Amino acid sequence: MGEVDPAFIQHPEHRPKLSINEAEGIPLIDLSAINSPNSISDPEDIERIVREVGNACKQWGFFQVINHGVSSDKLQKIEASAKKFFALPLEEKRKIRRDLNNVLGYYDTENTKNIRDWKEVFDFDVEDPTLVPASPDPEDDEETEWTNQWPEYPPEMREACQEYAREVEKLALKLMGLIALSLGLPEDRFKGYFKDQTTRIRLNHYPPCPSPELALGVGRHKDGGALTVLAQDDVGGLEVKRKTDGEWVRVNPTPNAYIINLGDTLQVWSNERYESTEHRVMVNSEKERFSIPYFLEPAHYTIIKPLEELINEQNPAKYRPYSWGKFTTHRKLSNFKKLNVENIQIHDFRI
């Protein structure tokens, strides 16, 4: 990526500090009690995990899980494929470059908050093809399909990605069940929303950056979907905006752990009982970094609104209903053109 082009330079108030605050206190939750093979989970263990998940959602909007049941072999395979793919010459990667018509595949000029990110990515959907609205226009009822683009090399990449997706899906839905229980809802309360999911997985590569004090791997943002399950390597770089004081703090990699963060959709469903948290990614001048977020997202026809069970006269709905498909299609626009205003956010629907 060469020297720092002005397109990458963050506004002064959003530039990273190179001195690192470590995020002491981000909860680490052991899921072994619900992942033990051939054993019935102790109700007390489940209650404890539900309580820990609920507290983490309330206090941080972020937590880490260990003994999560995802095969380390499947993670290693997708990581190895990602490294081989990103090591290819640029012209080879750009053979499957995404655009407005096909939003899945390789990309190296993504903007967050209209500032270019210091990264390159490969996106694929868990459902292939994925049915979505043809445009963000509320009056347009036409649908279209997003289809995955796979590279010729490495040949094993497609299978590695698909196998990994199936493994992480089990974890993501299990976590949604625990979150439902923590809200006093039935464990399967959210399950129906993901029947025709628009869930996406991204392979991220952050090359070394000559001016890490000016640029960010990903600018400050919140995830729009329900839940994100993140695998990161041992280099680190993820920072979370701490709710108590607004300080940016580093989430250090924990061996064999996944980082979980709540998305805006869950904030709306819970009527702000739980809130999504702003986060960003630092880069460094010496080491490349890889990460793999799994974005759990509902079917395009889902109308996102506070759940009826969580609203009453004392706690009325804080959001107007909106279409997930139209919302996510609108947000995709900022990937391909620099907008003059901030892209659509859930606060646009706040009552």
- The predicted pLDDT at position 99 comes to 86
Report residue 203 as tokens: 């392979």
Q: Report, as an integer, the average pLDDT of 124-151.
A: 93
Q: Sheet containing 258-262: give its strands across.
A: 28-30, 62-66, 258-262, 227-232, 289-296, 200-206, 120-125, 105-107
Distance CA 179, CA 57 (A): 8
Distance CA 328, CA 88 (A): 30
Number of domains in the chain: 1
In this structure, of 173-182, 242-251, 295-304, 305-314, the range with the lowest mean pLDDT score is: 242-251
Question: In what helix (H) or strand (E) does residue 35 lie, and over which residues does it extend?
Answer: helix 32-35
Residue 69: inside a domain? yes
Residue 105: inside a domain? yes
Residue 75: inside a domain? yes
Short-list 290, 346, 319, CA closest to 78 = 290
- The predicted pLDDT at position 343 comes to 66
Question: In what helix (H) or strand (E) does residue 86 lie, and over which residues does it extend?
Answer: helix 72-86
Q: How confident is the model at residue 347 (pLDDT cuts 50, 70, 90)?
A: confident
Q: Which domain holds residue 264?
A: 6-349
Q: What is the CATH number of the domain that holds 20?
A: 2.60.120.330
Judged by DSSP in three states, 248 sits in strand
**What CA–CA distances, in Å, run from 333 to 4, 114, 199, 240?**
24, 11, 18, 25
- The predicted pLDDT at position 92 comes to 96
Question: In what helix (H) or strand (E) does residue 262 lie, and over which residues does it extend?
Answer: strand 258-262
- The predicted pLDDT at position 39 comes to 55
Residue 186: inside a domain? yes
pLDDT at 41 over 80: no
pLDDT at 38 over 60: no
% of the chain at pLDDT higher than 90: 76
Residue 159: inside a domain? yes
Q: What is the pLDDT of residues 47-94, one digit of tens each?
A: 999 999 999 999 999 999 999 999 999 999 999 999 999 999 999 999
DSSP string covering 69-85, please? ---HHHHHHHHHHHHHH
Distance CA 165, CA 159 (A): 10
Residue 43: inside a domain? yes
- Pick the more confident residue, 22 or 342: 22
Q: Report, as an integer, the average pLDDT of 310-320.
A: 95
Q: How confident is the model at residue 1 (pLDDT cuts 50, 70, 90)?
A: very low
Which residues, in sequence order, are CB contacts of 94 under 8 Å at separation 6+?
106
Q: Sheet containing 279-281: give its strands across.
A: 218-221, 279-281, 238-241, 248-250
Q: Report, as an integer, the average pLDDT of 226-255.
A: 92
Distance CA 173, CA 41 (A): 17
Short-list 121, 125, 297, CA closest to 217 = 121
Cα 201 from chain centroid (whole Å): 8
Report residue 178 as tokens: 């625990």
In this structure, of 16-25, 134-143, 171-180, 310-319, the range with the lowest mean pLDDT score is: 16-25
- The predicted pLDDT at position 43 comes to 85
Residue 313: inside a domain? yes
CB atoms within 10 A of CB 30: 17
Q: What is the pLDDT of residues 209-221, one digit of tens each?
A: 999 999 999 999 9
Q: What is the pLDDT of residues 181-224, one digit of tens each?
A: 999 999 999 999 999 999 999 999 999 999 999 999 999 999 99
Residue 1: inside a domain? no
Judged by DSSP in three states, 146 sits in strand
Which residues, in sequence order, are CB contacts of 185 under 8 Å at separation 6+?
307, 309, 310
